Structure 1
Amino acid sequence: MADLAPEVARIPVEERLRDSFDEMVVYKNLKESNFISAFKLPSFMRDWVLKRFEDENGNIDVEEATEFIKEFIPKKEDWKSIKNRIINYQESVKFLAKISIEINIKTQELSFALPDFGLGFKDTVIPRPVWEACSEDLLKAEENWGVVELGYQYPVDKKNPGKIKLMSFKDFCPYSIDLDEFKEARKYFTLDEWIDVVLGAIDYNAAGYENKIQKLAVITRLLPFVERRLNMIELAPKGTGKSYLFGSVSRFGWLSSGGTMSRAKMFYDIAKNTEGLVANHDYVALDEVQTINFKDVDEMRGALKGYMENGKYTVGNHEGNGDAGIILLGNIPADDMNEYVDMFQSLPKVFHESALIDRFHGFLKGWNLPRMNDGLKICGWALNSEYFASIMHILRDDPTYRAVVDALVEVPDKADTRDTEAIKRIATGYLKLLFPCVTKPDEISSKDFMRYCLKPAMDMRGIIKIQLGIMDPGEFGGKSVPDLRVKSLEA
């Protein structure tokens, strides 16, 4: 990438940020006790509220924002009250929710579900006029965030019982996102400045980190946000912010903490005839994975191996596919923070097989990250988390970056295909996150590509390879990642 023009470099970063991204920038103050934190909103939703009620100087109308949150962002425990208003008082109620729809093949009936409130398809209906008006937004994805308006359809007889009906739906994202504009805006920042911009977008204060290694470790966590089916393991000390980042930054991911995980929940539920987590999300992060109970170890292991290899799964007679990456997040004692010892011994039994571990593309050394503290919380102008999460989601579908990686990477003869694919996939993710304006091989220097994309990808895959050698020395002992290099593109 070319250096910034002197006249651009002289402009303060904050000013460039606001000029380049305009209304996509919000003022975040997470260092101080903030009224909005009391509502425990995920960051993508919090920034949506901030954007709605902040003035151009970052001042927020606390009273209006509070009333809006109370009225339009109910908690799960508010659902009975909402039902009471709809059914017994015939009110129409509007609020922000995640919605999925179902089209019945036999009856042509249209229904919806609100998974966060436990409202299922059998108790709902979408009238035809509402469907005609809202179907485009409702069909954008398997699940969509938006403002739903609910009313009640009275029972007619036993065959036609009462149901909650959808009266209107407005998409959560109130603006269009232009990926080309995002790519162009990246050109007005140096790499170091851009790293800080990305950290601010996910609520972190770049100045709170000791060095670039720590900053890049945080950004590494975002790889599954931008790259399809990127499978990753992170072991880290407690308190480094794993749960927050995977659970709050993006509305397109899923964080599962503890409890029981079954094949039905992960892939497909035969009894309910519903797709599982991998079909509806960009990633499925298993937090505190040591505490998760896998219902049927052999069944889950078999399903995971097939899915992580090619994105497909078969449950009974149902064949499905998904694009979600599988992320393992676990805490690790200080004595085990070493890739040359068995770090996976405390993982659940389902992961005690080398063939499954081999399907994880890379390992993130979470011990390179500091414990969360007030100095790491953003206080200043930053990219709207909801906007940035949407950008990352869109980047998953952009094939340009993989084409650049394929053009730049030289693969030695007889290199292991699984290793090569893992490294290229991780390098592609880094390219999207750090150099989104690069669309051709000659737009990034060989030095930058090697240092920030290819080398870290090889290191991440290398740790998986070392652990495989410890786990299964007969199959993987003494094997290392292929020596991938950057091609010379000179004529």
Structure 2
Amino acid sequence: MSELDNKINEHFSGLVVRKDLVKAVKGNAIVPSYVLEYLLGQYCATSDEASIQSGIETVKEILRKHYVHRNESGLVKSITKEKGRHKVIDKISVSLNDKSDMYEATFANLGISKVIVDSDTIKKHPKLLVGGVWCISDVEYEFTEDKNACPWLLSSIKPIQLSSFDFDGYLSARQKFTTDEWIDLLITSIGFNPEMFGKRSKLLQLIRLIPFCERNYNLIELGPKGTGKSHIYSEFSPHGILISGGEVTVPKLFVNNSNGKLGLVGYWDAVAFDEFAGKGKKVDKALVDIMKNYMANKSFSRGVETLGAEASIAFVGNTQHNLPYMLKHTDLFDELPEKYYDSAFLDRLHFYIPGWEVDIIRGEMFSSGYGFVVDYLAEILRSLRSHDFSQKYTEHFTLSKDISTRDKDGINKTFSGLMKILYPSGEATKEEMEEILHFSIEGRKRVKDQVMRIDPTFEPVRFGYSAGAGSLIPVRTLEEEQYPQYYRSKTAETNEPEEPSEETDNTETKTDEKQKAKEEPSEKHVTFSENQRGVSFDTLLGPYLKNAGKIVITDPYIRLFFQVRNLMEFLETVAKIKQDEDEVAVHLITVEDDFKGPQQLEQFQKMQDTCAPIGIQFTWEFDVSNTIHARHIVTDTGWKILLDRGLDIFQHYEMNDTFAIANRLQKHRQCKAFEVTYLKALSE
């Protein structure tokens, strides 16, 4: 186990599980992860390998005997009839038969219905009435000659969710972890390997948890297919429900006027709309209108009566076009159905998760480390719904004065949600608060900028914050920095499209790469944000390598395969910019790997052999003192390029997939956050 795994087991003993065990026991069972982890938490919440293996066999046996597969429902019915009583794991929903004045249960997989349920059970578990709940239940069979009577009896029922937990113990154990360790624990808990994500990408994943810990939070995520947008709402928590965007009605979501039955928002903490995008979808205008009122006021009207609810709403859907296309030709809400493409509705959204920044899920992204049993984390988040951290940042920061009340609400609720997830005791440093405040403002700004493109009558807003009596710190979205030529927003002063700001401290943020390639090299400092695309060695380094006869690379971290591959791609850039008749000497100063030194030498030799015929003389030396730390590139034309990450600027991508475009072209990869400084040597 890793050092973090040991630490997790030490402070959360019995509350964590190895995440790869879910796949080990799931088989062909179509059941949410929280159901499986509930069982694993009973038998495998340990780091002892023998106990884990024994627990796995126990859970498999429980599933084999008691989980109901639909194609085996006849066999389970027969077992119950012969034994008279049988325990089953199934999704149970209940409805009121007002003709007989009885509650009747339906078992989704077992395929039985009209099973009588007593009123006390409904009072204890009201969610049975809306959407259904996964349960462990004892079912009895008692034959009767009464044709109107159901032979099936429900003798006991236990929803699959944690019954109690020590919240103070949770807060105390949190203090034992650094912020980065805690974030990695949370990312592992939702099933992902934290090593595959940068800090910003991790925060985007954790934003998806806010509807479970923040009341009446309105979230939208639009992006490419396959990024796991809906997974968290269907698999993570027994307090959330995922519904198809086309399958919801006013009675189902809010209230049925004919019988007064409360809808989903009255019983669930988070209600998510799957497949929300799609211009051609038919949408009930009355639903949109009542939803707008609920999202703004936390209430909805039923005739003369007004009802309130606390459910958060999440909308997830797929986009058909890439980011620059949407920014240039349409807007980031363009995929929504016409009835939802309404500025008043969209302005009620608190945060827009940029789905185009989220990687398509790949096999290596799943975790095999230790994380919380998800129903434990789900209960913790639910208990945090009664806490409010929305004003914590006001101790250090003040929002821009022209940010409207609705904008402020969105920022505050996101900030509060992230504080609950990352700092549940409410204690965070000024720097930590600033990081999540900046992130919260960016998510709301993404909403507002697009709303202003749709409806020009909206007043412009300058998004930013100040620290004490300091000047305003502006906040820009990543796509605004990445594609300034396509991004259109209004300034607060002119009500005209905002132009990209000029930097005065010789520092640049990302500009269009094609334009940069045309520029003459100059001394400057360039900062790149995590998840940025469009960066390549050709445009980043190419202009500074032109006409060089000798290039020296100093980087102690050219050891692992992906690092050596980065070096090979650097040599490809040199090959592109040199004249065919010229020769260039490229010398590498690095450190020999303690364990894979022979493999490292073999790779360097192959690079030397393949580059020689095209006029690149590649050589290397190992720093035996093992004291080099700085990473830079020096040319005989006088340029020194300081790279804080060396050539390791790209996030994980499908390196072995021939047909992955990110594998072929650097500009389509997501970057890590990094900085580059270009210096020109003084003339002698």
C-alpha distance after superposition, 1:189-234 (max 9, x if no partner):
111111100001101100112x211111111111112111110111
Equivalent residues in 2 for 1:131-210, closer than 5 Å? 131=120, 137-138=124-125, 145-152=134-141, 161-162=149-150, 164-173=152-161, 176-209=164-197
Counterpart amino acid of residue 53 in structure 2? I
What's 2:338 paired with? Answer: 349
In 2, Cα distance between equivalents of 1:382 and 1:163: 43
Counterpart amino acid of residue 197 in structure 1? L
What's 1:460 paired with? Answer: 443
1:188 CA displacement: 0.6
Greater shift in the superposed pair: 182-191 or 141-150: 141-150
What's 1:7 paired with? Answer: none
What's 2:89 paired with? Answer: 96
Counterpart amino acid of residue 62 in structure 2? F
- Figure out how many residues of one structure are paired with residues of the other and give that number: 460
In 2, Cα distance between equivalents of 1:95 and 1:186: 37
1:324 CA displacement: 1.8
- Structure 1 residues without counterparts, runs of 5 or longer: 1-10
Q: Give 3-state SS (helix, strand or coil) of 1:431's partner.
A: helix
1:113 CA displacement: 3.2
What's 1:428 paired with? Answer: 416
Counterpart amino acid of residue 394 in structure 1? S
Among 369, 374, 379, the alignment partner of 2:363 is 374
* Alpha-carbon distance change, 116 to 430 in structure 1, aligned in 2, over 3 angstroms: farther
What's 1:4 paired with? Answer: none
* Alpha-carbon distance change, 120 to 319 in structure 1, aligned in 2, over 3 angstroms: farther
* Alpha-carbon distance change, 308 to 208 in structure 1, aligned in 2, over 3 angstroms: same
What's 2:221 paired with? Answer: 234
Higher RCO (Cα < 8 Å, 6 or more apart): 1
Conservation of the 8 A alpha-carbon contact between 1:154 and 1:161? no
Among 479, 482, 487, the alignment partner of 2:461 is 479
* Alpha-carbon distance change, 153 to 480 in structure 1, aligned in 2, over 3 angstroms: farther
1:422 CA displacement: 1.2
What's 1:444 paired with? Answer: 428
Q: Give 3-state SS (helix, strand or coil) of 2:53's partner.
A: coil
1:248 CA displacement: 0.9
Identity of aligned residues (%): 26
* Alpha-carbon distance change, 152 to 432 in structure 1, aligned in 2, over 3 angstroms: same
In 2, Cα distance between equivalents of 1:303 and 1:201: 35
Instruction: Give 1 or 2 for the bigger CA radius of gyration.
Output: 2
1:330 CA displacement: 1.7
C-alpha distance after superposition, 1:263-295 (max 9, x if no partner):
222223345753322222222222221249865
Q: Give 3-state SS (helix, strand or coil) of 1:458's partner.
A: helix
Per the normalisation by structure 1, the TM-score is 0.82
What's 2:635 paired with? Answer: none
Counterpart amino acid of residue 474 in structure 1? T
Q: Do residues 22 (structure 1) and 9 (structure 2) align?
A: no
What's 1:363 paired with? Answer: 352
Q: Give 3-state SS (helix, strand or coil) of 1:396's partner.
A: helix
Q: Give 3-state SS (helix, strand or coil) of 1:60's partner.
A: helix
1:420 CA displacement: 1.3
Conservation of the 8 A alpha-carbon contact between 1:339 and 1:463? no
Conservation of the 8 A alpha-carbon contact between 1:214 and 1:368? yes
1:77 CA displacement: 5.3
* Alpha-carbon distance change, 372 to 416 in structure 1, aligned in 2, over 3 angstroms: same
1:185 CA displacement: 1.0
What's 2:105 paired with? Answer: 113
1:358 CA displacement: 0.9
Q: Give 3-state SS (helix, strand or coil) of 2:445's partner.
A: helix
1:328 CA displacement: 1.5
* Alpha-carbon distance change, 49 to 339 in structure 1, aligned in 2, over 3 angstroms: farther
Q: Give 3-state SS (helix, strand or coil) of 2:386's partner.
A: coil
Counterpart amino acid of residue 68 in structure 2? P
1:67 CA displacement: 2.5
Per the normalisation by structure 2, the TM-score is 0.60
Conservation of the 8 A alpha-carbon contact between 1:294 and 1:300? no
* Alpha-carbon distance change, 90 to 126 in structure 1, aligned in 2, over 3 angstroms: farther
In 1, Cα distance between equivalents of 2:467 and 2:245: 42
Conservation of the 8 A alpha-carbon contact between 1:284 and 1:324? yes
Conservation of the 8 A alpha-carbon contact between 2:162 and 2:379? no
Q: Give 3-state SS (helix, strand or coil) of 2:458's partner.
A: helix
Counterpart amino acid of residue 179 in structure 1? F
1:388 CA displacement: 1.1
What's 2:210 paired with? Answer: 223
Equivalent residues in 2 for 1:274-289, closer than 5 Å? 274-289=261-276
What's 2:34 paired with? Answer: 44
In 1, Cα distance between equivalents of 2:424 and 2:377: 12
Counterpart amino acid of residue 284 in structure 1? V
In 2, Cα distance between equivalents of 1:180 and 1:337: 49
* Alpha-carbon distance change, 42 to 339 in structure 1, aligned in 2, over 3 angstroms: farther
Among 39, 54, 60, the alignment partner of 2:53 is 60
Conservation of the 8 A alpha-carbon contact between 1:466 and 1:480? no
In 2, Cα distance between equivalents of 1:416 and 1:29: 46
- Structure 2 residues without counterparts, runs of 5 or longer: 470-684
C-alpha RMSD of matched pairs (Å):
3.5
* Alpha-carbon distance change, 113 to 487 in structure 1, aligned in 2, over 3 angstroms: farther
C-alpha distance after superposition, 1:27-61 (max 9, x if no partner):
12279x63524324322122122233436424334
In 2, Cα distance between equivalents of 1:402 and 1:257: 31
In 2, Cα distance between equivalents of 1:344 and 1:174: 38
Equivalent residues in 2 for 1:67-78, closer than 5 Å? 67-76=61-70
* Alpha-carbon distance change, 47 to 325 in structure 1, aligned in 2, over 3 angstroms: same
What's 1:395 paired with? Answer: 384
In 1, Cα distance between equivalents of 2:207 and 2:420: 11
C-alpha distance after superposition, 1:79-107 (max 9, x if no partner):
56555666x65832322345566789999
